[in-house]
Amino acid sequence: MSEDDVKLYRGLREVYIDRTNSSFINGKEGKLYYRGYNIDDLAVNCSFEEVIYLIMKGALPTLKQLDQFVSELRSNMTIPEPVLDIIKTIKNAHPMDVLRTAISALSAFDDDVNDNSAEATLRKGTRLTAQAPTIVTAHARIRDGLEPITPDPELSLAANFLYMLFGEKPDPRDVALIDKDFVLHAEHGLNASSFGARVAASTQADLHCAVTTGVAVLKGPSHGGAAESVMTMSQEIGSVDNAEKYVKDTLSSGGRIMGFGHRVYKAVDPRSLHLQDDLKELGERKGEPKWYSILQSVVEVMKPYSRKGINQNVDFFSGAMYFLLNIPEDLFISIFAIGRVPGWTAQVLEQFENNILLRPRLKYVGDLDREFIKIEDR
């Protein structure tokens, strides 16, 4: 085939590069499955720890298996002092840059770092899943001039995240919200960050390299940054009365309504429906129901676009939820990353199991056989 005959698939839209058992997105019907289980069942009935086990090991745990796994997670939540020193050194960086750097640094303290067997990769994935909340919260406190808080081995990952961030035992209702949020973000097919992780794994790089790549890719606003943008939009709207005009003015000027649209979903993102109900309850409990009302008004104004497959995604309600929990806005993407570590691990495990180097090509459209002129004659 000549270069002239090459067909381009820009953005790799609808290109399938391999088979997977980890998750399935039915974009037409708005359904998401982890290991064959509907996200609606998992979000309501499972803890994040159960879902981590499911995604990384392929089956829901028994009570005994879950107890053992929770013990393993909680025994790995602390991070080495030298990594804390690195966080202190780069405390003024963006939280995602700090998370990326700290995960990379953790490889130097992991005895399994160069072992890409399934068993070692699972051990590393478990450790990184446990350590990610500690990294994010330690940095948040250090940059505010506070001491990091040691994880409490009696608390879940979600509870520890809030405890280590704010320094007090969290309200169980708030813990339930963060726990569900982690569940909803845990795995999502071959999105940009998971593709990046798989590309790294395809070179036989270790899990720390792959997860570092995933975090780096997730930082991009076209992938992980919409929750923060939605909250900014909500603040600009200010009240329900302004929602319709804001949306119409934004769209007429060629702008985008943040938190709407998805590369795969042509129906409503099922994850957003769970956060929608939770945000309403949280807003009423915190005495700030207006954020839910503003977002609901935006949904109503955007309904005509649903016929074009433009509906709210998981980021649409999550930003307001984080805001009402007093979580700093630049940590919103980091919460996404914490939840996604199990998914990246599962993607890497699948890549290692049936590996092939991911090496697509680019169609060259530049000049050829240009005359070379020595520097003194240019």
Domain boundaries, the chain: 23-219+335-353, 226-324
| pLDDT value at 287 more than 60 | yes
Of the ranges 65-69, 125-129, 272-276, which one carries the lowest mean pLDDT score? 272-276
How confident is residue 1, by pLDDT bands cut at 50, 70 and 90? Answer: low
Q: Note the pLDDT of residue 156.
A: 97
pLDDT at 269 over 90: no
> Higher-confidence residue: 3 or 129?
129
Which is higher by pLDDT, 267 or 373? 373
How far is Cα 177 from Cα 318, in angstroms, rounded to an integer? Answer: 10
Judge whether 262 counts as a catalytic residue: yes
Contacts of 184 (CB under 8 A, 6+ apart): 39, 43, 271, 274, 275, 314, 339
CA dist 281 and 291 (Å) reads 11
* Residue 67 among the catalytic residues: no
Please determine, looking at this structure, whether the domain spanning 23-219+335-353 carries the CATH number 1.10.580.10. Answer: yes
pLDDT in tens, 305-318: 888 888 888 888 89
Three-state secondary structure along 316-366?
HHHHHHHHHCCCCHHHHHHHHHHHHHHHHHHHHHHHHHCCCCCCCCCCCCC
Model pLDDT for residues 158-188, shown as the tens digit of each residue: 999 999 999 999 999 999 999 999 999 999 9
Between 12-26, 104-118, 197-211, the lowest mean confidence (pLDDT) is in: 12-26
Give the architecture-level CATH label for domain 226-324.
Orthogonal Bundle (1.10)
Same fold, 23-219+335-353 and 226-324: no
Q: Active site residue: 110, 112, 206, 315, which one?
A: 315
CA distance 79 to 97: 17
Please report, in angstroms and rounded to a whole number, the separation of the first and last CA atoms in the chain. 37
Catalytic residue among 185, 188, 208, 262: 262
* Strand ordering across the sheet containing 37-38: 23-26, 31-34, 37-38
Q: CA of 264: how far to CAs of 13, 15, 26, 309, in Å?
A: 9, 12, 8, 10
Q: What is the pTM of this model?
A: 0.94
**Average pLDDT, integer, range 282-303:** 93
Mean pLDDT of 11-17: 89
User: What was the pLDDT predicted at 230?
Assistant: 86
Average the pLDDT over 55-79 and give the result: 98
Predicted local confidence at residue 2, as pLDDT = 61
Bridge pairing between strands 31-34 and 23-26: antiparallel
Q: How confident is the prediction for the chain on average, in pLDDT?
A: 94
